[in-house]
Amino acid sequence: MTKKILLTGFGPFAKNQENISERIALELDKLSIDEYQVQSLILPVTYFGAPKLMQETIINLNPSIVVSLGLAAERKAINPELLGINFRHSNTADNDDYIAQFETISKDSKEAYYSTLPIKEIISKLKSKGYPIELSTDAGSYVCNTVLYSTLSFIEEKKLQIPCGFIHLPNQLNDQICFDAIKEVLNVLVKEYR
């Protein structure tokens, strides 16, 4: 039976008229690696719509692994995120024109959830292949962090055994490098969870 990897990206937002995470997720859609197949999903850049769609998709798709991609325009390396925090705040409106200021994401959940992907192995493998990759301990407080935090919280709450994490992609790298790097990440995950 084919297992699913849910790979998400985001569409354009704010001053970013294109989003590399959308392009990479769509390019990898339907990719097969051993018994796994990638199922891509483009999330809205909204604080409330993105987590809702993610949770609905997890229930309907029943993926074995969840990997979310996002754009971090000013960064220079590929950044697996260590954790999502229970906080949203930005002067930039989301695509519903909502501006979050000093808000908790959930009043009933933990202060933070750690990624459950094998981050150390991912970084080690990609560094050995020459990709610019560094651990990030700060996913920000915009929609990317909200998706990471909300998804990990949902998986724990529903007692699902699904590894889940988030990787930020910079604008400074071209699509081919990011495509190859994320494909390599997926190979690491398939090897880890076969």
Active site members: 81, 144, 168
Helix axes 175-193, 119-128, angle to 10 degrees: 130
Q: First vs last Cα of the chain: how many Å apart?
A: 12
Assign residue 142 a region: left if phi > 0, alpha if psi is -120 to 50, beta otherwise?
Answer: beta
Q: What is the DSSP letter of 2?
A: -
Q: What is the DSSP letter of 95?
A: T
Alpha carbon 91 to its chain centroid, in Å, reads 22
